[in-house]
Amino acid sequence: MRNAVKLTTAVLAAGALTLGLTACGSDKDDASDTSGPLIVAASPVPHAEILTYVKDNLAKDAGLDLQVKEFTDYVLPNTATEDGSVGANYFQNQPYLDDFNKKNGTHIVPVVTVHLEPLGLYSSKIKKADELKSGATVAVPNDTVNEARALKLLDANGIITLKDGAGNDATPKDIAKNPKNLKFKELEAAQTPRSLDDVDAAVINGNYAIESDLKPSEDALVLESADDNPYGNFLAVKEGNEDDPRVKKLAKLLTSTEVKKFIEDKYAGSVIASF
């Protein structure tokens, strides 16, 4: 039975305005007390599901009191970790965190990489990527790192060609060749699955694809390769909390053989263990 507390963007919008505001009220003391429960902010799928598996099956024997709080966006987990409302988070990759810390003055650091969610191109209108028509509209995430990641996916599959040197901040302005004159619709990452009826195709993050009952390993027209992929998702904490004994216990559990088997059995290639 899942005991995760769901916190929506609407409820917590005020918390994103100022890093000094707590997103979870009285949880701040619990998060900063290493003798209390470890509260972890996570995206619902697959992060909170993996954490809930750990909570229900492994944490007690390891002497870890684990609490899971679900967030539906990519901002509040970091601000809540920064202000101490939660003790850790699990939802992001290194390029995204680097960009977030730089733009927001936060001090979040990775602890251990757990899994990869391959980014994919999806469509409800075509069956193959080469069926995209001239002038087709493709939705892409609008945050800096995931938009660049989406464009790199299209580039890697010969759909567009990016300019030499296009990096983790690439935008459609960095496209050198666009043979099908594709148009790009920039949306919040969580909205991309919902856009499938309105666009010709959409590049969707793995967690949002799974939440929308898409199977990346089966439904994606093109899918990121796991080889040398820099977008593995990790457990993260505010700098200085890496040696928290609760965090060390969770890091060990998240990279256990039991969790690897859980990921393989539950997600069947749509989420890939990184350890």
For 123-166, how does the pLDDT look when each residue is reduced to its tens digit (9 = 90+)?
999 999 999 999 999 999 999 999 999 999 999 999 999 999 99
pLDDT higher than threshold 90 for residue 21: no
User: 8: which residues sit within 8 A by CB, 6+ positions away?
Assistant: 72
Q: What is the pLDDT of residues 229-245, one digit of tens each?
A: 889 999 999 999 999 99
Please name every residue paired with 121 in a beta bridge, in sequence order, or none if there are none: 203, 222
Rounded-to-integer distance, Cα 182 and Cα 184, Å: 7
Rounded-to-integer distance, Cα 43 and Cα 64, Å: 21
pLDDT higher than threshold 60 for residue 30: no
Q: What is the mean pLDDT of the chain?
A: 89
* HEC-encoded secondary structure of the chain: CCCCEEECHHHHHHHHCCCCCCCCCCHHHHHHCCCCCEEEEECHHHHHHHHHHHHHHCHHHHCCCEEEEEECCCCHHHHHHHHCCCCEEEEECHHHHHHHHHHHCCCEEEEEEEEECCCEEECCCCCCHHHCCCCCEEEEECCHHHHHHHHHHHHHCCCCEECCCCCCCCCHHHEEECCCCCEEEEECHHHCHHHCCCCCEEEECHHHHHHCCCCHHHHCCEECCCCCCCCCEEEEEECCCCCCHHHHHHHHHHCCHHHHHHHHHHHCCCCEECC
- Dig out the tokens for 254 from the structure: 């998240």
- Dig out the tokens for 78 from the structure: 């970091």
**8 A C-beta contact, residue 125 and residue 137:** no
Q: Label residue 93 by pLDDT band (50, 70, 90).
A: very high
- Dig out the tokens for 228 from the structure: 């040398």
**Residues constituting the chain:** 275
Backbone angles phi, psi at 88, to 5 degrees: -165, 170
**8 A C-beta contact, residue 39 and residue 24:** yes
Backbone angles phi, psi at 89, to 5 degrees: -140, 160
Tell me how many degrees the CA angle 201-210-119 measures, rounded to the nearest 5: 55
How confident is the model at residue 226, as a pLDDT? 81
Q: What is the pLDDT of residues 81-92, one digit of tens each?
A: 999 999 999 999
Whether this prediction's pTM lies above 0.75 is answered by: yes
